[in-house]
Structure 1
Amino acid sequence: MSDSELEKYYGNREKAILAFNNMILEEAEKQDVPLLERLKYLSILSANLDEFFMIRISGLKAMMLEEQTTAIKNKHPVKTQQLIHELYEEVQSLHARQYACLNKEILPALNEQGIILLKPDAWTPEVYQYCEALFQNEIAPLLTPIAVFENSSNVFTAIGNLSIHAAFWFKEETNDMQDLVPSLVFIQFPKNCKRFYKIAELKNTYVMLDDIIITFCDTFYPGKEITDKILFKITRDADISVDEFTNDDFVSAMEDVLLSRQLSLPLRMTCTGTSEQLINYIAQIFNLHDNEIFHFDGPLDLKGFLFLYEAIGDEHLKFPKNKQKDLHIKPHEIWDILKREDILLHFP
């Protein structure tokens, strides 16, 4: 039987992975699943899809390059390129349902339960002052703005894998010092900052790091007017291996692999914001095409929402915990019982 005849009996591995993640999303969409568990499923989905791009899509991209070389020689069509296009479309569809579930169902339902994510337009003067002090005292000292000038070559290597960045554009100025004023600035979210900050006076009320940075980032350049702001995250190729047999220093080799992951081929950009011009400009910097841009109507990197799942103690919004059960079996009896039946000792 030829390879073409065998193909109909086998599913595609990457599509099977997306089918599994579709089942995770279906759990999040179920109305009878506890609310925080639904949020947890959305978080798991985001983490899985990041890994899907870093490992599976990166492998397909490498395969596509090999096929393109062969296709030029043998004039064969490039099958992997079409597969990658289909996978990107499927992931776009998954994310659309994911954020529809988050914005239309889960966040409103959490709000009804008294679990509130305060957006900047809902900040009271007291909350605004709290966030401003938080930014100045705890967050701003950890931020390093990256100025992007024309013909700048530092941008590609400065944006690491899976790090959320704020990007903002200055209003153009016409003066003799124009060349010294950056037109675009990136700010990486610090790794050692919390994603959510609780308002002490209000029960289960949080503000997001995303909103704090976007609201107060203009304080880095007083007197300058910012015209556009977005948040974005670059997912890079992480399918980089180390040969433990030929590398004498395995630890050093692993350090090189981790560094390579931060600077490897960009595979997609996820972003949130209203400036299409700025989004397209950043995508162009990383040589990303339209289908590799994922524009979200909500916070980036939902796996960070696992913090809320763990921080909120409302047990009625989670699956009931399994209670430990004593077997009441004498040690010398257990082997006789096992001959007759199985005993469930642990369930993950």
Structure 2
Amino acid sequence: MRNLDSKSYYINRELSWLAFNERVLAEAIQKGNPLLERLKFISIAASNLDEFFMVRVAGLKDQVKIGSNHPENKTQMTPVQQLVEISKRAHNHVAKLYATAKSCMHALSRQGIKMVHPHRLSREQRDFLARYFYEHIFPILTPITIDSTRPFPKVASRTINFAVLLEATDGEDDVEDLFAVVQMPSMLPRFIALPATSGERTFVMLEDVIKEHIALLFADSTVVEAACFRITRNADITLDEDVEDILKEIQKELKNRRKKGDIVRLEIEENMSHTMQMTLRDWLTIMDEDIYAVDGPIDATCFAELYHLPDCDHLRYAPLAPQIPRDLLGVQDIFQAIAQKDIMLFHPYESFDPVVQFIHQAANDIDVFAIKQTLYRVSGNSPIVSALKRAAENGKQVTVILELKARFDEANNIEWAKRLEESGCHVIYGLVGLKTHSKIALVVRKEGDRLRRYVHLGTGNYNDTTARIYTDISMFTAREDIGDDATAFFNFLTGCREPSSVPSWKQICTAPHGLKDKFLALIQNEINQSTPEKPGRIIAKMNSLTNKDIIKALYQASNAGVQIDLTVRGICCLRPGRPGVSENIRVSSIIGPQLEHSRIFYFQNGGDELLYLSSADWMTRNLENRVEILFPVVQENLKDRLKHILNIHLSDNVNRYILASSGLYRKVRPKGSDMPLASQLYFYEEACRHAANSHATSIPFVPITLET
């Protein structure tokens, strides 16, 4: 019997994340993708790296700071060892990112869209930039000189700044050189368009314009050097959840985060002088390995600005227009439709509007008495929140479990919490020590002499914006047993009862109490029913797989002959294809225009197939530190649909990568006469076919007018 705790059977979590971001960047390298889509992938990869440093690298540095040398439980790497490997790989990754960006920009110039330096402009163009500088930039800039009376300023995280070396011009030989910092305005566009000439579009970088005129800020000195830098700070929020007002506590911590977190990364221009680099390093007290010299514009997320350039549709994918969900074709009344059968929605191929309409209709329906809903991440102008406010104003009992600790959405959620409370909603800020990550809405409606409960459950957030980008699956149901569970779930959250009083669920299962055990039991059941003649079968799709107990159970299932296919978009700590350990496990990852976000779980169960959807990944944080929901799909046509979705994902030969036992990924390509199959495009075309083939008049899912 092999020791399944051996570190050789696992992939480090942080290195697996970097491998995921390398796959994102690979889509920018892929010349078959439209050019502006490639630049968008570069922007996404850069944004991902920001969060990785702010959270994951920052966490490891915190461990080192307190003297912890405790190895993580899978690969047994200490915090220091992880940081060393991360630094090596991240530096290579950043170099590749900027080389890719340079290649894309060269290709863009061949399309008549050029980036130029001010030195290469005509007199007329330079005059235009001078006027632009005086009118739009100069009034905003604030030079901060550093000397014995003015220490190095508290630079905000992820802002671009100029480090300026000055030489005094007062004629005194003994006057030391001065150092200054100027923050670049973040509200201005990074790419400044010049007046069009010869049918070409020409842009100049904002930082180049400022450098060209920066001497005007220092009338008494000569600018010896000016170069850009950007720091990344630890963005984790440390909360005392026992405080009287957690909302105010989070607001206070948000103010501290941008300027008080420890610095974990310094990005500088590649041509910055060694003297300037060392000066910044010493002032910022950062290690050499945390300095990233880049050959291109600092903060590569700026390339997202170019994505929406007008008259460039040929450089982008055709826009995806979400279709009416197939289960709602011909439907006139959404409550009546849900009462008759379970209804599935597959976003973004099918519209998210019915979810918004569900809450909107409930808000205005005189027969609806109560609405209860969880909110984790919502859009900036959320029609869901608008509908909940209207419901409360219409006298409904509205309860919202709003997670204030959703990372990087804290400020947005605080604002929504205030507005909901002002409208009369009962707002609960989650549970102490846990993030409420569940996606569930409950509507209680009077029908005749009884109350009927309508439930919506999903794998993704109630966010109408990301629902056009993320692939998620959700389901409406009026089943009594799920209605009972939904009522008990909300009562448990709002009652803040002890874990020992967690309800006995009829259909759903929840984390942190019971969900991991449920998954382990389902895996064990496959082992028990697997035979050489009819091996067990598990297919699972998720964002990340890190939990060691789940991985070990999958290894045991593999050894029992269970055939396992996993589609894991991001982090995967399981090492597939190892003889005697994981030879029956295959791992894929799909990276495409849409962000794969759905969580689907299939278990053969001896022929009586079980299918589930969930808000949870197979990550320790989801299974042990969050409030999550797993719910079954029992209606046969919906089970068939989920199996179809899983099979198409596993047949993708355009956007799918396969993980080797070495930990490396290779992209799947069509073989021989195989037709290319891109799963995301397939699902969209399938949704379009269903909508086109139906001549039934459907419920008018109209956008909700937002309140001012």
Q: TM-score, normalised by structure 1?
A: 0.86
Match of 1:184 in 2: 179
Residue in 2 that maps onto 1:113:
111
Higher strand share: 2
Deviation (angstroms), 1:252: 5.0
CA distance in 2, matches of 1:265, 1:331: 55
Kept in 1: contact 2:167–2:177 (CA 8 A): no
| Secondary structure at 2:86 match in 1 | helix
Aligned pair 1:292/2:290, yes or no? yes
Residue equivalent to 2:88: 89
For CA contacts below 8 A with separation 6 or more, give which structure has more relative contact order.
Answer: 1
Question: 1:224, CA displacement in angstroms?
Answer: 2.7
> Bigger radius of gyration, 1 or 2?
2
133, 141, 147: which one pairs with 2:131?
A: 133
Alignment of 1:1-348 (within 5 A): 5-68=5-68, 79-103=78-102, 105-149=103-147, 151=148, 154-155=151-152, 157-171=153-167, 175-176=171-172, 183-202=178-197, 203-222=200-219, 224-248=221-245, 250-272=247-269, 273-325=271-323, 329-331=329-331, 344=346, 346-347=348-349, 348=469
Greater shift after overlay, 309-318 or 288-297?
A: 309-318
Of all paired residues, the percent bearing the same amino acid is: 26
* Partner SS, residue 133 of structure 2: helix
Change (3 A) 1:81 1:345: closer
Q: Is the 8 A contact 1:68 1:78 kept in 2?
A: no
Offset at 1:78? 8.7
Alpha-carbon RMSD across the aligned residues, in angstroms, is 3.2
Stretch moving more, 160-169 or 247-256: 247-256
What is the CA deviation profile of residues 87-131 of structure 1, one whole-angstrom value per residue up to 9, with x for unaligned ones? 01111101111111111x211110010111121222111111111
What SS is found at the alignment partner of 1:107? helix
Give the CA deviation at 1:172.
5.6
Which has the higher mean CA deviation after the structures are superposed, 248-257 or 228-237?
248-257
CA–CA distance in structure 2, aligned partners of residues 299 and 9 of structure 1 = 40
The number of equivalent residue pairs is 338
**Alpha-carbon distance in 2 for matches of 1:223, 1:140:** 17
Offset at 1:194? 2.0
SS of 2:265 mapped into structure 1: strand
Q: Secondary structure at the match of 1:331?
A: coil
Q: What is the TM-score of this pair, normalised by structure 2? A: 0.44
Give SS of 1:159's match.
Answer: coil
The letter for the 1-side match of 2:86 is: L
Q: 1:2 to 1:237 in 2, by over 3 A?
A: farther
CA distance in 2, matches of 1:175, 1:3: 75
Shift in Å, 1:68 = 4.8
Contact preservation (8 Å) 1:43, 1:303: yes
Q: Give the Cα separation in 2 of the matches to 1:70 and 1:342.
A: 45
Deviation digits for residues 48-100 of structure 1 (CA, Å, limit 9, x no counterpart): 111111000010011223445889xxxxx992112101101111101111111
Offset of 1:158 from its aligned partner?
Answer: 2.4
SS in 1 for 2:221: coil
Are residues 259 and 37 of structure 1, via their aligned partners in 2, closer, same or farther at CA, if it must alter by over 3 Å?
Answer: same
User: Structure 1 194/247 Cα, relative in aligned 2: closer, same or farther at 3 Å?
Assistant: farther
Distance (whole Å) between structure 2 residues aligned to residue 317 and residue 120 of structure 1: 26
Q: Distance in 2 between matches of 1:229 and 1:4?
A: 55
- Structure 2 unaligned runs (5+)? 350-468, 470-708
Deviation at 1:283, TM superposition (A): 1.2
How many angstroms apart in 1 are the aligned matches of 2:287 and 2:346?
51
- Judge conservation of contact 1:168–1:228 (CA < 8 Å) in 2: yes
Alpha carbons of 1:13 and 1:345: their partners in 2 closer, same or farther (altered >3 Å)? closer
**Which is helix-richer, 1 or 2?**
1
